Structure 1
Amino acid sequence: MDTMKWLLLTYKVPPEPAAKRIALWRRLKGMGAIYLQNGVCLLPKTDDHVRRLKMLENEAAEMGGEAVILETVALDRAQEEKVIARFKADRDEAYREFIDKCDDFEKEIAKETEAEHFTYAELEENDVDLKKLQGWLEKIGKLDFYGGALAEEAARRLKGCEALLDTYAQRVFEAHDENR
């Protein structure tokens, strides 16, 4: 078995100010960490994660708390699979939320099309929304260390949103007599 190495961070920080504690939690979740319990989280071992956890260790100390970073491996394949399943579940939750936003995007385009509201302002607004979706999926993908089950569906849904906006844009151009 090729042993996977993880970084285990344990930390304890004062409950107040809550904003600093919450910011620390958000940063860890933003790195893709999974929490094994309060103040104990895990990330795949990479140079980037080592560097970022060391910076968070210093922040915890500045907050009057403490942190310990350990390199660890699973006891056996079953334990390793449990950990990987947790990472995948977190990513799939993010993909589900993303897919819900794709639904919203599709409904918005359908509403504007049904109302024959083919304006540049609406096109621009929807283009901004599509760019947000593209950036969001990219962020989720960077944290998808082990291939979440919904990754392909999310990518397919984004392509659908892109095609939908292209079709809507064509209708806007036609309404304004652009491509003739």
Structure 2
Amino acid sequence: MSEKRKWLILSYRVPAEPSTLRVRVWRTLKSIGAFYLQQSVCVLPLTSDIQGKATQLQNLISDNHGEVILLEVEQFSGITEEQMVASFNQQREVEYKEFIESCNVFLEEIKKETSIGNFSYHEVEENEVELVRLKRWHRKILNRDFFQTNYTTESQNKLDECVASLEHFTQQVYEEEGNKEGELM
């Protein structure tokens, strides 16, 4: 066991209606990377950011007639903590694999458009929108990647490859469009 971690356990119960509260709590917890131990009981590594978001959730649940308990845990047994870290990493790895696959689709699209010579400003705009989506998605995964999975570096490299590919494609479009715009009719 190398470093001592602190953990936050959040247990909650919300009224059945309106269901929007239950969905909002669940979505918020998933978005910050919570690992569910069982229904309505989840664990997170304790950081100042997580503590702040958990406090906001606690207030939201309480304000809507729910029950919530926040527990700070200083120590799990050694194997339990290792299992906990592995569970968090497993969740992130699933996300990273999906992200990397989307990057591969992006790269294939650029390759296809290049091979057929479809060098248009419209294609640049389309791909810029997709690249922004990929960057945003990657940032969200990184924010939940508390323990640096095996895919952390690979996903960054794949995103960098997408950026470079779009830059190269955009340069080709500018060269093509510039030549067409400079021609006299």
Q: TM-score, normalised by structure 2?
A: 0.90
1:165 lines up with 2:169 in the alignment = no
- Shift of residue 132, structure 1, vs aligned partner: 1.6
Aligned equivalents of 1:27 and 1:12: distance in 2?
15
SS in 2 for 1:177: helix
- Shift of residue 73, structure 1, vs aligned partner: 3.4
Which amino acid is the alignment partner of residue 119 of structure 1? S
The answer to whether the 8 Å contact 2:14/2:21 transfers is no
Moved more, 83-92 or 102-111: 102-111
The unaligned stretches of length 5 or more in structure 1 are: none
Q: Match of 1:3?
A: 4
Aligned equivalents of 1:96 and 1:73: distance in 2?
32
Q: Match of 1:78?
A: 79
Which amino acid is the alignment partner of residue 106 of structure 2? F
Aligned equivalents of 2:16 and 2:150: distance in 1?
36
SS in 1 for 2:164: helix
Which amino acid is the alignment partner of residue 35 of structure 1? Y
SS in 2 for 1:14: coil
SS in 1 for 2:178: coil
Q: TM-score, normalised by structure 1?
A: 0.92
- Shift of residue 52, structure 1, vs aligned partner: 1.4
The unaligned stretches of length 5 or more in structure 2 are: none
Aligned equivalents of 1:6 and 1:65: distance in 2?
23
- Aligned runs of 1:37-76 on 2, under 5 Å? 37-76=38-77
- Shift of residue 144, structure 1, vs aligned partner: 0.7
- Shift of residue 169, structure 1, vs aligned partner: 0.9
- Shift of residue 163, structure 1, vs aligned partner: 1.5
Matched residue pairs, number? 179
Q: Match of 2:108?
A: 107
- Shift of residue 133, structure 1, vs aligned partner: 1.1
Aligned equivalents of 1:51 and 1:154: distance in 2?
28
Kindly, what percent of the aligned residue pairs are identical?
Answer: 39
Q: RMSD over aligned Cα, in angstroms?
A: 1.6
